[in-house]
Amino acid sequence: MKIIIIGGDGFVGWPLSLRLSNKNYKILILDNLSRRKIDTELKSNSLIQIKDINTRLSTWKNISGNEILFENIDVSLEYEKLCKIIEEFKPDTIIHLGEQRSAPYSMKNSSTKRYTVNNNLNATHNILCAIVDINKDIHLIHLGTMGVYGYGVVPDTIVPEGYIDVKIKNKYNKEINVEILHPTYPGSIYHMTKSQDAIFFQFFCKNYNLKITDLHQGIIWGAYTKETMMHNDLLNRFDYDSDYGTVLNRFIIQSANNIPLTIYGTGFQTRAFINIENSMDCIEIAIRNAPNKGDKVKIFNQVTETHQLIDLANLIKKIIPSSTIEFIENPRNELVENSLEVSNNNFLDLGLKPIYLNEENIIDIYNFIRKNKNIIDNTKILPMSFW
Ligand code: USQ
């Protein structure tokens, strides 16, 4: 099976490319290396030094015998080139990870807002148009986010997988049952683009009978996968700065550097989480379970558990007793406290084996990143984006 991975040089895309290539899928990465350029723009760095894309690819070929192809292209801007590539490669599946994925970055200023909207929405729309123009049988898998649902917006409910049943009164005052997309409550421009993506998918699916899977993923934790550990040249990036670092990975690196764990606000926010290996497992499952033509968009919640942030910080403190906690005025406009329960039955029913957060896993990440702790730039820890 041939797969195009758009955004295959990024935090999810790179380990995914390795995983799928290792399973003998023929992989073509499309990427404009924008994540590396944003590092330069923000003067930030990944805690794990990553190799340039050509070194990554040649090392992978040497050790696995499998070739991953690569094209440097901005799919949000270069439509003709995108079409030519798809026509020539003839993929069965396109996995779309080619979006600016940081909420804080998307909220910095009007320039980063506009970049996020232009990049994310045009990328998604261009890919959909190309599939319509070239081959409507291509299965499109998109990495969305839990943030489209808001977090526990309707108390005491379990967030369903994409759709809800509502009753609408018709003009004769009779209630009609209707299934609709779950309303969106995005908390940042970034999350708003993913909400808009869902509407693109609904429209293109209905109008052109495309086969589309949208994965609403929670916050990833973890530093490596089996494949990225096969050689130093294959290591994945590990972000710790306040724009791109995500909460649990940040807490662990803060602990390793004797920096207080930065809880924003009360710490009573609850979020959904998934381990990075499980993220790969889910996407593999989605590849094998494409919707049929004419089906509605398949929506999976790509999460395995939910946690309150304060509990995560306390867990780390329990495991690494030298850790300290600092409550910082919340730089984000978000609920002070929320509960969150999420359905993930679609993936469980298809065989996902969840990797849950536990002491052993945290110590494992801690030991892995500790070796690099000296390169951390302490000026990148506190929030740099406010809304
Ligand atoms: N937070 C802290 N301290 C920190 C960093 C964050 O308390 O040092 C809090 C934030 O205020 C927020 C929560 O932790 O309440 C999560 O923040 P985050 O930066 O870990 O995650 P978020 O901005 O929501 O975005 C990340 C990824 C994004 C993905 C999303 C999944 O960057 O690409 O879509 O997680 S989800 O959050 O489920 O929508």
CB atoms within 10 A of CB 294: 10
Q: Could you say which architecture CATH assigns to the domain 2-237+274-303+341-354?
A: 3-Layer(aba) Sandwich (3.40)
Residues having CB closer than 6 A to ligand 1 are 101-103, 145-147, 218-219, 246-247, 250, 262-264, 269, 271-272, 309, 332, 334
Contacts of 24 (CB under 8 A, 6+ apart): 66
Q: What is the DSSP string of 199-235?
A: HHHHHHHHHH--EEEEEEE-EEE-S--TTGGG-GGGP
- The preferred substitution site among 271, 332, 382 for testing ligand 1, maximizing ligand atoms within 8 Å of CB, is 271
Question: What does the pLDDT read at residue 153?
Answer: 87
Question: What does the pLDDT read at residue 375?
Answer: 82
For residue 264, which atom of ligand 1 is closest to its CA?
7
Question: What does the pLDDT read at residue 13?
Answer: 98
Question: What does the pLDDT read at residue 373?
Answer: 74
Per-residue pLDDT of the chain (387 residues; tens, 9 = 90+): 999 999 999 999 999 999 999 999 999 999 999 999 999 999 999 999 999 999 999 999 999 999 999 999 999 999 999 999 999 999 999 999 999 999 999 999 999 999 999 999 999 999 999 999 999 999 999 999 999 999 988 889 999 999 999 999 999 999 999 999 999 999 999 999 999 999 999 999 999 999 999 999 999 999 999 999 999 999 999 999 999 999 999 999 999 999 999 999 999 999 999 999 999 999 999 999 999 999 999 999 999 999 999 999 999 999 999 999 999 999 999 999 999 999 999 999 999 999 999 999 999 999 999 888 778 899 999 999 999
Give the residue whose CA is nearest to atom 19 of ligand 1.
Answer: 246
- The preferred substitution site among 12, 44, 145, 279 for testing ligand 1, maximizing ligand atoms within 8 Å of CB, is 145
- The preferred substitution site among 112, 246, 269 for testing ligand 1, maximizing ligand atoms within 8 Å of CB, is 246
How far apart are alpha carbons 323 and 171 in whole angstroms? Answer: 61
- Distance between Cα 149 and ligand 1 center (Å): 14
How far apart are alpha carbons 286 and 280 in whole angstroms? Answer: 10
How is residue 268 annotated by DSSP? B
Question: What does the pLDDT read at residue 345?
Answer: 98
Give the residue whose CA is nearest to atom 30 of ligand 1.
Answer: 219
How far apart are alpha carbons 94 and 362 in whole angstroms? Answer: 33
- Distance between Cα 297 and ligand 1 center (Å): 26
Contact between 105 and 243 (Cβ < 8 Å): yes
Residue 270, helix vs strand vs coil: strand
Write the CA distances from 209 to 91, 202, 296, integer angstroms. Answer: 18, 10, 8
Question: What does the pLDDT read at residue 40?
Answer: 97
Contact between 124 and 148 (Cβ < 8 Å): no
How far apart are alpha carbons 215 and 146 in whole angstroms? Answer: 9
Q: Is the pTM higher than 0.85?
A: yes
Question: What does the pLDDT read at residue 183?
Answer: 96
For residue 194, which atom of ligand 1 is closest to its CA?
34
User: Which tens digits make up the pLDDT trace of 245-288?
Assistant: 999 999 999 999 999 999 999 999 999 999 999 999 999 999 99
**So where are the chain's domains?**
2-237+274-303+341-354
Of residues 208, 45, 24, the one with CA closest to residue 130: 208
Q: What residues are annotated to the active site? A: 145, 190, 194
Beta strands 305-308; 270-275: pairing state: antiparallel
For residue 265, which atom of ligand 1 is closest to its CA?
7
Question: What does the pLDDT read at residue 234?
Answer: 98
User: Which tens digits make up the pLDDT trace of 6-24?
Assistant: 999 999 999 999 999 999 9
Of residues 77, 11, 65, the one with CA closest to residue 239: 11
User: Which tens digits make up the pLDDT trace of 161-171?
Assistant: 999 999 999 99
- Distance between Cα 359 and ligand 1 center (Å): 21
Alpha helices, H only, the chain: 13-22, 34-42, 53-64, 79-89, 103-106, 110-134, 189-208, 247-256, 276-288, 309-319, 345-349, 359-370
